[in-house]
Amino acid sequence: MRTSAIAVTLVVVIILGLTVFLAYQRSSINVSPTPYYPVSVIDGLGRNVTIASFPSRIVSLAPSDTQILVALGLGKDIVGVDYYSYQLLQELNMTSVLPPNVTVLPPNVTYPSLNAEAIEVLNPSLVVGDAGIDGGYLSQFQSANLNVIFTRGDLDTNFSGIYQDIYLLGKVFHVEPQAQELVQWMESKVSKYSSNSSVPVAYVICWTPQNDFYTVSKGSFINGIIQSAGGDNLYANLSNPYPEVSGETILAYRPPIIIANCVYNVSTAKHHKFLRDLSP
């Protein structure tokens, strides 16, 4: 019974971590463009960035940033999002939070290199990027004369980091009260699922054709969620935040809890059988 309870807790907290911003969305906000602007902030790359006026045309390049923007009531100001942001909104049946004519950027806009022209054509007043994913493109953004602000995003390892990203965007878009309220709401929800237990957990992001899989270590946000919920991540000590490991390690560990990400190719019959075979 205790193991089942921890399993439910872990699943709920990880789902909460992915959707908490979206669940708190606002349909509209009132922004006063003056005399608040210009405003200066320190972004996720440690840069001092000055925002001259309210950014009314936003391009968001990461799901985490898109979720925060939507939660702060800024969905209507988004003119472009990355493919994965839109995919997550589709999974949640929440694409309506964006304008009907929003541009969904294909994956190759930011990988393996930045396609600045695809962003420039949207005429954004501000590009919101993830320092852990898009930070390496700073010079290219600057060369294209694109105004960009970075959250720490993928560099965050716990909820506290996410809260700081929310405060940052709250200040950029002059919605600090909404940001404060959102963080307080999140804290109240997260506290309900926190635990001091230590139950072994294996987290499966996606499988490879070789029957290996990608997981998470101590450098990732998901590892922080697992720990907060009372889990002991079996792969926490690996150096890469998202390491590739052999599927045979699960056979060796036989953890009581296995969490599989349903979005990324883990729903095949082959791997369902592989996981079922581990069950006592």
pLDDT average, residue stretch 198-222: 90
Give CA separation, 15 vs 4, 99, 256, 273, in Å: 17, 25, 19, 24
CA distance 231 to 201: 6
Q: What is the pLDDT of residues 137-155, one digit of tens each?
A: 999 999 999 999 999 999 9
Which is nearest to 59 in space by CA: 45, 48, 74? Answer: 74
CA distance 256 to 213: 18
- Whether the per-residue pLDDT at 280 is higher than 70: the answer is no
Report CA torsion sign: 59, 65, 67, 69: negative
Count Cα atoms within 13 angstroms, Cβ side, for 125: 13
CA distance 169 to 41: 9
Q: What is the pLDDT of residues 242-255, one digit of tens each?
A: 999 998 898 889 89
For the beta carbon of residue 219, count every other beta carbon within 10 angstroms.
18
Selection from 32-41, 66-75, 88-97 with the highest mean pLDDT: 66-75
Place of tokens 């590009």: 127
Report percent pLDDT > 70 for the chain: 81
- Residue pair 124/144 in contact by the 8 Å Cβ criterion: no
> Whole-number mean pLDDT of the chain?
86
- Whether the per-residue pLDDT at 111 is higher than 80: the answer is no
pLDDT average, residue stretch 198-226: 90
- Identify the band that residue 263 occupies on the pLDDT scale cut at 50, 70 and 90: low
The set of residues, in sequence order, having a beta carbon less than 8 Å from that of 175 and lying 6+ positions away, is: 29, 31, 72, 73, 74, 169
Provide DSSP, 65-125: HHHHHHHTT-GGGEEEEEHHHHHHHHHTT-GGGS-TT-EEE-GGGTSSS--HHHHHTT--S
pLDDT average, residue stretch 178-190: 94
Q: What is the pLDDT of residues 55-65, one digit of tens each?
A: 999 999 999 99
CA distance 177 to 174: 9
Structural domains in the chain, CATH included, are 31-190 (3.40.50.1980), 195-276 (3.40.50.1980)
